[in-house]
Amino acid sequence: MDSTVEIRWHGRGGQGAKTAALLFGEAALSLGKNIQAFPEYGPERMGAPVASFNRISSLPITLHCSITSPNIVIVLDPTLMETVDVTAGLPADGLIIVNTKDCPADIRKKLQLRGGKVFTVDASGISKETIGRDIPNTPLMGALVKASGLLPIDSMIKDTEEKLKKKFASKPEVIKGNLAAIRRAYNEVIGE
């Protein structure tokens, strides 16, 4: 991986798109990659469409412009596909990962996407079962690792565990749930 991989996360305010980008960036850094993670700063309201971004590279990253042609797009909320052009700038060999119960073929049809690879995973369902709430961001990190092959899953989960331990020191059940969610989404994501 000599060239930089660019990732765009689409979510709604409060769903954790920013946190996912930060956690994934930190995990990639601890596995020796150069990273950037940044949110798009706009109307930061609960429920409003938001985006966040990653750059991951084996070489130093000096670009400081926006990401307009991401290699990978992740959609945290499938209803965003109705209002936001989630495939904007996605190249012919790009990947899109959607949190949905639908199969990749249906999503491909919905997005009228010819090229690229489409992956789907029921991240909301997984997070409800493992974390107890609809927090699709951490399971989608697992799906991202599977779909992209950017990082080894076990190391990524280990690093995320350390980060979550700091954040949720008083809630060990949250950490356990999140790690289980990542692992399940890694195993359950399907693509075509």
Partner 1 sequence: MSKVVARTGNEAMAEAMRQINPDVVAAYPITPATEIVMIFAKYVADGLVDTNFVAVESEHSAMSACVGASATGARVMTGTSSQGLCLMYEILPIAAALRLPIVMCDVNRAISGPINIHCDHSDTMAARDFGWLQIFSEDSQEAYDSLIQAIRIAEDPRVHLPTMVTTDGFIISHCLDRIEIVEDKEVKEFIGGDRKAANSLLDVKKPVSVGLLDLQDYYFEHRLPVAEAMKNSKKVILEVAEEFAKKFGRKYGLYEGYKLDDAEIAIVALGSTCGTAKVVIDELRAKGIKAGMLKIRVFRPFPAEEIAQALANVKAVAVLDRSDMWAGQGGQVFTEIRSALFEAVKKPQLLNYIYGLGGREIDQPMLRSVFTALQSAEKQPLVQYLGVRE
Amino acid in position 35? I
Q: Which of 2, 3, 41, 83 binds partner 1 (CB under 8 A)?
A: 41
Q: Which of 13, 34, 161, 176 binds partner 1 (CB under 8 A)?
A: 34
**Nearest approach, Cβ of 45 to partner 1 (angstroms)?**
15
**Binding of partner 1 by 87 (CB under 8 A):** no
**Nearest approach, Cβ of 69 to partner 1 (angstroms)?**
11
User: Distance (Å, rounded) from C-alpha 182 to C-alpha 62?
Assistant: 30
Q: Which stretch binds partner 1 (CB under 8 A): 29-37, 86-94, 115-123, 179-187?
A: 29-37
| 53 phi and psi angles, rounded to 5 deg | -140, 155
Q: Which of 13, 31, 38, 174 binds partner 1 (CB under 8 A)?
A: 38
Q: Across the strands, what pairs with 95?
A: 72, 117
**Beta carbons within 10 angstroms of residue 42's beta carbon:** 11
User: Distance (Å, rounded) from C-alpha 141 to C-alpha 160?
Assistant: 10
**Beta carbons within 10 angstroms of residue 111's beta carbon:** 19
**Binding of partner 1 by 62 (CB under 8 A):** yes
Q: Which of 13, 39, 89, 191 binds partner 1 (CB under 8 A)?
A: 39
